[in-house]
Each structure stands twice: as C-alpha cells, then as structure tokens.
Structure 1
C-alpha cells in the first residue's frame, strides 16, 4: 500500500484531503466513482501537477475495479471513457497526460487478460506511479538543497509540498531539506491569488517548523528591494523542450524580479513534467478558470457580479530567466546560472 497525507488508497477507494478546506479544517474526501475523481480535480480539491496525475491514475483504476464484473468489451469501453474524461479535467499540467498514457499502455499490453485481472494491473500501476513520485520528491530535495546557502531567505509561490505531489514535494522538498541541513532564516510565501494556495504552503511550513511569513502578491517587488533573498524556488506544471516553464500565475513576474535583483530562480519538477513534445512555452495550453474565483473570496463577494474578469490559472516563464532546473535526474543549469557553473557542466 502507498499512503501519504494528500491521498491514500483504502482498498476499494481513494481517500483524499480536501485542500479547499485548509488550513482551517482537515476534511477527507472519499472518491469511489469517476465523477468523484473528476470533480476533485476540476474543483481543485486536489491540485498540483504531480498529484493531479496520481489521482487520475487512481481514477482509471477505480473505473476498472468498478466495472470488473462486466464483459470485456463493456469493461474496456468504460475504462477508455474514464481516461478521456479525466484527460479533459485540466489542460495545462503535462503529468496528467503522461500518467493517462501510461495507464492506457497497461490496457494495450494485456489484451488477453480478464477484466478483473486488468483492474488489478491498473491499480498496481497507479500505486507504482505514486511510489515513484515519492522517490523522485526525495531525490529532488537532496539535489536542490545543495543550491541553497546557509541561513538563506527564500521565496516560493503557490504550493509545492506533499499536498501538491503526494510525496515530500518538489520546490518544498528543496526548502525542507535545505532547512534540515543548514537552517533557513525565512521563507517568504506570497498568498497566490485568486485561489490562495500560499496558505497551503504556510500550513505545511508550520507542520515542518520552518520560519515563514505570508505576504500579498503585490508586495513581492518591495520585498526584493528590502531583503536579501537568496533564491526563488518554484514548481512547474509543464516544461517545454526549449526550457520555458508553465507554472502558477505570478511565477513569471517573480522570475523577472529575480533577474532584476540578481537572485537565483530555481525550478523543481519531476522528469514527467518535462514535455519533449511541446516545442516552446507558446505551445502550452493555459487554463482559464471561472470569473467567480476573482469576484469572490470564498463566500464573500469582493466585486459586483457581472464585472469583467480575466482569470488565467498559469503563466509561462521564458527559459532565459531560469537559473536551474532540478529533477530526480539531476541539476541542469539554465540560462541565468552563474557563468563558471555553466562552464563546469
């Protein structure tokens, strides 16, 4: 069995922490149907590129287990329909598509298996994907921590911890490991409007006893002028072949500020986030979400209904602004890495 704080398989269903209720309430969802999985992903009850992929994998396994008593034709049709519906749940994070292609591969490779046997194989594959992500997270943390000086002040954005990956996190894993090794002075946490994922990071930092302060997104530029920030450490939802990075909205402006102030900009992501079939950032589909996310803060209206709103969930940071890419495979120096380090590469 594979268990994590964010999600765990409970024999015949997935138990998932409802992230829309944090940090005030820890409430767990019980996902038993494909509709449950799609709702959890699309409504961001589970979120973060790696975790979306993991949950989708379990969703395929759930569809297979629920239909294991059907004849093969109906079983295969139901599972393939589940894959297509899950594929449409969120468009930007490449992990989702990579995972679903891997689950489809299990179907293709086992045409002579019975529905019940295939259901067990698909569940085993989903658990393997989850386990591999946990291992990748640990490696990312170990490698990336070497880039962080002792006593640093860092800044991140959105949420990249266990809540986003089902393991130790990507950028958060680096922050955690750096603090264990050389004690960070402070982590600055932008609130990350409109969905306020920064509060999830604050919740995880509190659990890890890492010092932090939350700031409004509009304060980031002034922060750079008033504090000696050692690095920005961020995650990614998709990294194009040319190194452009799609991540939570606000990442691009953070990268620009890092370039202006000579601060390292570190992108942490598993190898599954690198998309060799996507030539450049311009080719990455950017999800646009409902205006209600901007018009309201939870149940509280902040603008009158009907006001025009633009609500892209992601932006794309050009490769020229990236100092380092950290994955479980190693550290790759970006365009903004110090010259002597690039020469050593």
Structure 2
C-alpha cells in the first residue's frame, strides 16, 4: 500500500495553511517545531482558513515542508492574503505527564505511546518532581492520565478487594504518591498560569482537592441508575472552544466504567466553567450498553475551568483510549499546542 503524499503549494506569499481538522496536522506541527519554524493558529475563521487551522509563516525552507508533507500526508496550502488579523502565534509547549511508581498505569502507558506517535515532546513527571514545587516555571501543560485519587496521592492499606501487596510493606524510597503537598503543588501550577489536563477518574483529584465549581453528576450511581461499561455515546461539541478546534459539531465519545460527567455548581464562579463537549438530550447510545441515560442527558462530557491564571481541562470520557479513539484525539492534542495570544 502506498501512503498518500502531501502537497506543498509553490507560491505562498503569506505562508502555508494546514487543515486543523486532521489528526496528522499535529504530527506536521511538531515536526515544524523540531525544524525551528514559526507557526500561528487561526483563532477567528475567515476566507479559506478554518478555525483552528495552522499557518506556517513565510520563509520556511521549502525542502522542510516537502519532507514533512511526504512523511505525514498533510497538504500545505497557499495563503493568498495576510492572516495576521485572524491568527495568533503559537510556540511549543513544555508538556509533563504524571507517572506513578506503584503498580504502573496502563492509561499512562498508552498516552505516552500516542504522544510519541504524533511527535509531541513530553517529560514523565514522578512524585519528586511534583513535590519540588514551582511547576509553572518548568512546564506549561501537565497531564494526569486516568487513575484514582488514592493512587495519585499515595495508597494506604491493602488495595480494594484485597488483591495485591500492602503498600505499607514497601520501603519508603519505593512508595508511590505525591500526597496533599503534591496536590497543592498542582493547584499552584494552575493558579500560576499552567494548563492541567485530567482524564476520566483522575478528575477526582481536582474535584476533591481543588476549589472548583464543578461536580461529577454520576458519582455514586450504579446499576440501573447509570451504567456504561464500555460504550460509544453521542455528543455535541462547542467547536468555538480552543480545546475543540478542528472537531465536528456532532461526534462520538468512548465512555468506560469509572468515567465522569460534569455539572457546574451554581454560584459566583459559574462563569469560570465552559462546556466543551456535551451529551445529547436523548438516544445517546451509539454502540454498546447504556443504562440510565437520563443521568447524563444534556450534561457535560468535557469542561474547561478557569482557575487563577491557568486552566483545568477535564475530559470525563476516554478521548485517547488505547490510542484507538481517533475521532477525539484532537480534544487532547489541542490542549498541548497552546492557544495563541
């Protein structure tokens, strides 16, 4: 099979445009960052440029563009007009992802694979790095893969169900968890301008330890009240959100047991919460098994929360599950490339 080769327009007086709706656009962008290219992102749709498209500034070596087009299959289309009024510069973000020591985390491993597959530079963050504090000085974005609050803070006692060793028997140097001090360091990271991205159950750390006006609408629900153990569900996407650039308005989300669904808590800070993805109002199931759809109808599947000078992105479903959910990869990728401005 011959893989498609991207096209590079020869005459591009105002630079080249990359379609931001393509997952492979992010591979191309990361390769351009590697090559030292200057990039912008469209933040106001106009002309032939769509919201979220990437712009490669004029003067970039055409040989570099040809090599990237060949490697990714992405087209570099010519811009016939000055895009400066509808776009903002972006720079490569310093991305860290939490990796706990105890027991390993499958979701963290799959997320590492996905980031590497699309060329995202990242650092694995261990407990010591988080406990060192001043995280905003070293990272722009921190990812919390799907995991329980207990495992991130540090397990105490034998795991639920009695399976596995008691962490109390592990030598101190090999114990896992960043504790309350680490949770405070992560919140300080956001308040100082960082972006914290939490996948599914990892949101419990934010809901329990941070002061945010959000709650999990399906917390404690089970059985006939609500159950979706591995299902594809219909959602609406606010494509004007920078975290949803390039997404279609109607999409599908993969929901697994342990996922979260969000409601805004009424109050003075309600406006700090923005819905990015919302479950539709009825007939939500596309494929799989869903009981109690009324528990999630018209509720948020993904939110962004302004917190101090930074932002928390909470994705309650599995947008990058086992690197298979290609239709929602961009909801993760958008948080990792910067939003311009």
> Is the TM-score greater than 0.5?
no
Asked which structure has the greater RCO (Cα within 8 Å, sep 6+), the reply is: 2
* Structure with greater helix share of residues: 1
* Structure with greater strand share of residues: 2
Structure 1 length as normaliser, TM-score? 0.30
